[in-house]
């Protein structure tokens, strides 16, 4: 599985969240949510264990509700492919505080490593750009990851999208809470909302 010169997923996510400040981070179903956990549990982490294809839309709802906060969706190629229409929805709404990163290992890593559409044909950067997300980047170096991590905090220039080609090697599973109400209410509490 492992190819030369591909980025390590944990290094990528650590760099994205290293200076996160007030970022709300959403991890898509699969390894991405574990990567966010590995970078450090945080009250503003939204861990998904289901709802495949929904990560970007959760990000959109949050970004529209909280326009002064940077919202960062970190998901995988399979999860993004399932919710590809949401790129058109986001391209139409153009929330300037929303950033989406796809960790693209060209495979369904959680289910046995079956190759995904990005391995041979689908170009998610092209899709995002064609859907109206003008700042859509293909990333292959850590310097580009770090530049994107800075851009996430610029609330005037989004939405932005990045597809990061990563090494397909499996890494240690570091699992977050599976309790959805805890996850949501912890974020709401941190944003200053009371329970109903």
Partner 1 sequence: MHARADASDTAPNWPDDIFVTLQRFDVRQVPYVPDAGHSKLIQRVLGSSTMRGIPLTTEEEGVALLAGAWTGGQRGVLLMQSSGVGNCINMLSLIPILRFPFLTLVTMRGEWGEFNPWQVPMGSTTQGVFELSGVKVLRSSNAAEVPAVLEAAAAQAYNALTPTAVLLSQRLIGAKVFTK
- Please give the residue ranges that form the binding site for partner 1 (CB under 8 A): 24, 26, 46, 50-55, 57-66, 69, 83, 85-86, 88-89, 92-93, 180-181, 183-184, 187-188, 191, 193, 196
Q: How far is the CB of 142 from partner 1 (least distance, A)?
A: 29
Question: Of 59 and 109, which CB lies nearer to partner 1 in the complex structure?
Answer: 59
Q: Closer to partner 1 at the Cβ: 48 or 139? A: 48
Query: Shortest distance, CB of residue 118 to partner 1, whole angstroms?
Result: 20
CB closer to partner 1, 6 vs 131? 131
CB-nearer residue toward partner 1: 1 or 184: 184
Residue among 64, 51, 119, 52 at smallest CA distance from 93: 64
Nearest distance in Å: CB 182, partner 1: 10
Contact criterion met (CB below 8 Å) for 71 and 59: yes
Can you read off the two tokens belonging to residue 27?
Answer: 């991890």
Q: Report CA-CA distances (Å) from 40 to 27, 50, 83, 145.
A: 13, 21, 26, 18
Tokens of 84: 């590809």
Q: How far is the CB of 191 from partner 1 (least distance, A)?
A: 6
Cβ atoms 103, 76 nearer than 8 A: yes
Measured CA to CA, the distance from residue 104 to residue 137 in angstroms comes to: 13
């Amino acid at each position: 599985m492992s190819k030369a010169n591909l980025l390590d997923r944990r290094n990528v996510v650590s760099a994205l969240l290293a200076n996160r400040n007030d970022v709300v981070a959403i991890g898509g179903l699969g390894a991405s949510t574990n990567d966010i956990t590995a970078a450090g549990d945080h009250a503003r982490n939204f861990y998904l264990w289901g709802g495949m294809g929904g990560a970007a839309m959760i990000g959109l709802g949050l970004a529209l509700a909280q326009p002064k906060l940077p919202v960062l969706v970190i998901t995988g190629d399979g999860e993004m492919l399932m919710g590809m229409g949401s790129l058109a929805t986001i391209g139409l709404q153009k929330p300037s505080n929303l950033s989406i990163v796809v960790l693209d290992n060209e495979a369904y890593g959680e289910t046995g490593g079956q190759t995904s559409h990005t391995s041979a044909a689908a170009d998610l950067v092209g899709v995002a750009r064609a859907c109206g997300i003008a700042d859509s980047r293909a990333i292959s170096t850590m310097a580009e990851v770090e530049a994107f991590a800075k851009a996430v905090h610029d609330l005037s220039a989004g939405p932005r999208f990045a597809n990061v080609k990563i090494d397909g090697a499996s890494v240690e599973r570091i699992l977050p809470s599976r309790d959805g109400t805890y996850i949501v209410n912890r974020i709401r509490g941190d944003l200053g909302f009371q329970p109903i």
